[in-house]
Amino acid sequence: MPRNRSSRTSAHPAPADGVPQHSRPEYPGGAHELGQNLLVDRQVIDRVVDLVRGADRPLVEWAAGRGALTVPMSRLGRPVEAVEIDPRSVGRLGRVVPGNVTVTRGDILRHAPPSDAYDLVCNVPFHLTTPVLRRLFTLDGWQRAVLVTQWEVARKRAAVGGTTLLTAQWWPWFSPRLDRRIPAGAFRPRPSVDAGLLVIDRRPEPLLPPAQRRHYQRFAAAVFNGRGRGVHAVLARQGLARSDVRRWAREHRVGPNALPRDLDAGAWVGAYRLSAG
């Protein structure tokens, strides 16, 4: 039998109704008082499992719910720790998962992950998206995170249509990408917005050493929030010589009207290196 552990966790928001015809009835909807939106779309579930199939690492699932992802992932034959707050869901998981799954009743914002390398999966509670991402980025050990988030969050974190400060601050160490859009009908209860499947990989060779993280993140925040009509002017206000800015712009193909949100990871790192001398 799987081993159960006890603590706290979080849930998933949203309003009500609508279940697609291809949903799986064995995965009942989430509890309204916990705001849960549980995945019921078989194709999305299969895709999440495929995204963690290739590596031979233990799996951690945050906000496991009723096991829509837990049970298929358990069939990969790797150790799985499923973290969930709802005691009813925890009890159900304990009855249906095989012996390679540990069920933990716990808070995903306080959960202590394994010390060795692992992959992480989470159908992210929409109202906890930013705290979950901030916590995730500060944790060591995980190599790939597969996250179901609100559609706009997934786009922004993957820098589709422009990046955000949070993505820019962690880009040297993590590589995010948008896998696909998930329609609201893939959940029960049905949320008011679509979701996105976001994949974040830890870079095997970081673009900057960890020791420079704080300094780089302060630099990124100063540039992102800096005054000026474009990133060229902002960088000049940060003390960079205009000739160096022009050379950097040519090297990274940064146009004259570009804004900080238009920079890619290489351009951010290049600008930081200029600023660091």
Is the domain of 176 the same as that of 264? no
**What pLDDT score was predicted for residue 21?**
33
**What pLDDT score was predicted for residue 71?**
96
**What pLDDT score was predicted for residue 25?**
35
> What is Dmax (Cα atoms) for the chain?
66
Query: Which residues, including other chains, have CB under 8 Å from residue 242's CB and lie 6 or more apart?
Result: 232, 236
Report the alpha-carbon distance of residue 216 to residue 205 in Å, rounded.
Answer: 17
What CATH number does residue 221 fall under? Answer: 1.10.8
Report the alpha-carbon distance of residue 159 to residue 189 in Å, rounded.
Answer: 29
Residue 140 DSSP one-character state: S
Distances (CA, A) of 220 to 110, 197, 208, 261: 27, 26, 13, 11
What CATH number does residue 183 fall under? Answer: 3.40.50.150
- Encode the chain (277 residues) as per-residue pLDDT tens digits: 445 554 433 333 333 223 333 333 344 444 434 446 899 999 999 999 999 999 999 999 999 999 999 999 999 999 999 999 999 999 999 999 999 999 999 999 999 989 899 999 999 998 899 999 999 999 999 999 999 999 999 999 999 999 999 999 999 999 999 999 999 999 999 999 999 999 999 999 999 999 999 999 999 999 999 988 899 999 999 999 999 999 999 999 999 999 999 999 999 999 999 998 7
- The angle, 0 to 180 degrees and rounded to 10, between the axes of the packed helices 265-276 and 213-224 is 110
**What pLDDT score was predicted for residue 15?**
31
N residues, the chain: 277
Is the domain of 105 the same as that of 24? yes
* Torsion sign over Cα 91, 92, 93, 97: positive
Residue whose C-alpha is closest to residue 19's, from 9, 30, 29, 33: 29
Name the strand (E) or helix (H) holding 179: strand 174-182
Is the domain of 124 the same as that of 18? yes
- In this structure, the number of other CB atoms found within 10 A of the CB of residue 242 comes to 11
What token pair was written down for 227? 């005054």
The domain boundary residue, chosen from 173, 202, 231: 202
Is the domain of 168 the same as that of 238? no
Distances (CA, A) of 90 to 96, 104, 105, 222, 265: 10, 7, 6, 44, 40
Is the domain of 79 the same as that of 17? yes
Is the domain of 197 the same as that of 224? no
Looking at the structure of the chain, the number of domains it has is: 2
Is the domain of 149 the same as that of 19? yes
Q: Which domain holds residue 26?
A: 4-202
Is the domain of 167 the same as that of 94? yes
**What pLDDT score was predicted for residue 3?**
52
Query: Which residues, including other chains, have CB under 8 Å from residue 93's CB and lie 6 or more apart?
Result: 2, 64, 66, 67, 70, 82, 84, 101, 103
3-state helix, strand, coil in the chain (%, to 5): 40, 20, 45
Is the domain of 75 the same as that of 146? yes
Cβ(9)–Cβ(125) below 8 Å: no
The domain boundary residue, chosen from 148, 176, 202: 202
* Torsion sign over Cα 104, 141, 34, 124: negative
Cβ(189)–Cβ(182) below 8 Å: no
Is the domain of 148 the same as that of 231? no
The domain boundary residue, chosen from 186, 202, 218: 202
Is the domain of 53 the same as that of 107? yes
**What pLDDT score was predicted for residue 115?**
87
Is the domain of 35 the same as that of 86? yes
